[in-house]
Structure formats: C-alpha cells, structure tokens
Amino acid sequence: MGRTYFVEETVGQYLSDLSVKFKPYVTGLLIGQCSPQRDYVIRAARTPPKEEQKEGNTSPSKLDSIDEEWITAHASQVSRMLPGGLLVLGVFIIVTPELSKDSQNALRRLIFSIEKSLTKRRLWKPADEDISDRAALQVCSATKKIVCRTYDVQDPKGSAKPADWKYQSALSASWLSLGCTVNVNIHIPLLATSPNHDLEKNTKNGLNRWSKQIEDSIFLINGQVKDNDTELLEGQKKLRGNTHSSTQIFDVKVLTQLSQGSSHRSTATVQVCSGSINLKGAVKCRAYVHNNKPKVKEAIQALKRDIINTLSDRCEILFEDLIINEGHCKKNFERVYHVLPQRLFVPFAGSSVMLSDYKFGDEAAGEIQERFLEMLDQFVQAEDIYVAEEVNTVGICPVSENVDHTQQKQLTEATLLLKLQQNMGMLLPYFYSGNVEIMMGPFSI
C-alpha cells in the first residue's frame, strides 16, 4: 500500500496559480514532515528563475532541458531555512499535456539528485525508522489532474509507487513546537600534517565529534525525562482551537554527558598543530512536530537534527564565502572583532510553524524579504521577522610571525572569514606555530 500525503489546502491553491502563470512547465519543491503513519506537506516553493528567465514567465520547451544542478542547489538553500522536523520531501512539476509523458522520468532524476546532495551535507546518521520515500507530484496545467508517486531514495533501482494526495484545511495551524538554547564550546585543532591547512576538513571532523555528543545527550522536556516510546502529549492538557495562541510549546534542556562510560573511556591525545579554531557561544534551536499523537523520540530527533544542522550549515556558508571572497582578504596582525549573523524566524499565514534564516549585522530587512521571496516564493512583512539571538562577535587573534608567508596568508584569510559562522556566540581562532597541543578527550558543552 502506498503512502498518503496530507496537504495544506493553500498548497493546492498555490499550485493552481502556478499552472496559470507558467508555461509550458514549472518545477519546485515540496516541504513538510514524514512520520511512520502519514506524511504532511505544508508548503510548496517553485524553482527560482535564472537571470535569463526573469524577463518572462516561460521555460524551455523540452523537459530534457531541465537544469538539474540549479534545482538541486535550490533544494540545498531551502533546507538551510527549515527548522527541525521539516525537510524537502519531494518535488513537483506542472506541465502542459504534451509534456506529461516524460515528466515522471524528470521527477525521478531530480529526487535522487536532491537526496544525494542533502545526504552528503548531513552530520547526523539516519535512524532505522526514518522514511526514505520521497514524493514526485505531477500536475497537468490544462486538466488540473494530479498524479502522485513515491520513490525510495535508498533503492536507486526501485520503481515508483502510487501515493494518495489529500488536501486538508488548517493542517499546520496547531503543530507542536520544541525550543532550546545550546551553549557551544568546540575546540578544533588545525593539524600541522593537514595539507594546506585544510580548514574545511578539520572543521568537519571537529563537528562530527561534537554531533555525536549531541546524539548521546539527555533531553529534558519541560524539566522531565520522558520515555522515547511515550506520546509527547501524554499528561498534557488538550488545548482547544487551531489558533497560533493555542500552539503548545515545549521547553527543552540539553544535558551533554561528560563521559560515555567505561567502554568509551577517552585518553589524552598529543597532536602537533599549526593553529586552532574555537567555536563558542549560544545556539537557538527549534523543531516542530505534527499533533497527531507524536512520539517523544520523533520530537527529540527533530530537535537534535536542528541543533546539528544549524551549526554545520553555517560552516558550509563559511567555506562557500571563502571560495568567493578569498581575493579580498588582507593581512592583519592585530586582534579584530566582527559582528556575527543572528538566527531569525518568520511565520507564514495560517500556520504555527515558522521558517528560519540568518541576518548579518549590516543586513537590512529588505534583503531578508528578498531572500524569502526568491527561495520560498513567500513575501514576508518586515514586522514579522523575529530575531532570536543577540548580536555576538568574532575575535581574530594574530598569527605568529614565524609562520612562513604562504601559511600566514592562508590562515589569516580563513580566520577573517570565520565571521560567517552564523549563530555562534563567539568564534575565537587561536594560532600556534610549531606548538604541541594536548586534547584531553571529548569537549563538553
């Protein structure tokens, strides 16, 4: 039996509007949540047009001209704007009747391309109960006929399965929200043996160790430890109505274990380092789960992934900016500070779920509005932008004078761009030349 997708009614209206505006086809993403019993689609977002397409609402006349790389990049950008519990769970295409025959092949290619890209970026490991089916929705622009199928992204050779597509009003009006603040203090050495002082590789290794700590942490929900298999709402008073004010919010505390038991006893490690990066500060995290008898483990898993994603995504932003702006850095031998970007949330109409983004200190509300319009095809009122974090700084320490010119340039260049590590309270890179650094096991948060 195929999966059933419960879809917000406004998504249906959005798809109908697109079918009138764009010919001969338009593609986009489906955003929502998977659960063992059913899947939920709460938003759709069309693929943003390229520069050459912005003049008119037309696409190339053949489906084989679909830009797979462009759509995959869009999915990667959108995934960064989704809080815990939400994911890109499929793609849609609206086509004229003459193109409908080849649309399923196009959808299949897009689904596997997007999943491959998103999986490569994740630091958390998928759970056994994770749903690996992704939706492929085809809509005929003339007849409005809908065909929904799913593909198992764990089985590249598998065939499509039929799925039900059911609209429902106020689907996301009263979802459950979990929020927490995680204090982070991650020390990442830059090994002297690492070729070209590979910041990206070292940072990812450090974040991998930290993400395992988050996975093994204890989560207190409203001050209590709850069994994974119990219902999240067990013992809670049921709230009436589907308004924003009736949304139930759970306050979560994250307790990181200082040790992992005798079987995982840590030992001192001596490593020769050319420098190190210290990521330190407070991370604001949020996750949403449906209100159809969700389990505690579903809610905690969604929040864990938001904690890990929000930090790893910012590291990606750092290295992308490093590639783009590497020619704009100058030597600096004095300690300097930079204002870090802040995490923000915005609502969308008729929903208790909020979407996420990041705001730099000199970034105006108009730039944030433009980004939401481009990535999620959503207009955001400036007064609806909720900044969740305080302004923080990045401290840059000087590079030792006995580092050779090439190393000095690489290290200074990298550290100046560390300001793009969004949402960290303070980022302090410290550099040592030829020193020996002793790391005493895992670092706690």
pLDDT averaged over the chain?
78
Could you tell me the CA-to-CA distances from 280 to 185, 217, 394 in Å, in that order? 4, 18, 10
For residue 407, report the phi and psi dihedrals to the nearest 5 degrees. -60, -40
349 or 30, greater pLDDT = 30
Residue 371 lies in a domain: no
* Residue of 55, 167, 84, 90 whose CA lies nearest to 353: 84
pLDDT in the model for residue 264: 58
Q: Which amino acid is at 194?
A: S
pLDDT tens, position by position, 98-154: 888 888 899 999 999 999 999 988 888 888 888 999 999 999 999 999 999 999 999
For residue 327, report the phi and psi dihedrals to the nearest 5 degrees. -85, -5
Q: What is the 3-state composition of the chain as percent helix, strand, coil, each rounded to the nearest 5?
A: 35, 30, 35
- Domain end, chosen from 168, 199, 218, is at 168
**pLDDT score of 73 more than 90:** yes
| Contact of 36 with 48, CB cutoff 8 Å | no
Find the range with the poorest average confidence among 51-60, 169-178, 321-330: 321-330
DSSP 399-411: PPTTS-HHHHHHH
- Domain end, chosen from 138, 168, 198, is at 168
Residue 402 lies in a domain: yes
pLDDT tens, position by position, 317-340: 666 766 666 544 443 334 334 345
- Domain end, chosen from 152, 168, 184, is at 168
248 or 408, greater pLDDT = 248
Q: How confident is the model at residue 191 (pLDDT cuts 50, 70, 90)?
A: confident
What value does the mean pLDDT take over residues 237-253?
A: 65
CB burial string 172-198: b at 16+ within 10 A, e below? bbbbbbbbbebebebbbbbbbeeeebe
* Residue of 173, 80, 183 whose CA lies nearest to 420: 80
The label of the residue with tokens 């939400």 reads 86
**pLDDT score of 79 more than 90:** yes
Residue 356 lies in a domain: no
Residue 347 lies in a domain: no
Same domain for 306 and 183?
yes
**The domain containing residue 75 runs over which residues?**
4-168
Angle at 275 between CA 270 and CA 276, to 5 degrees: 85
d(CA 416, CA 409): 11
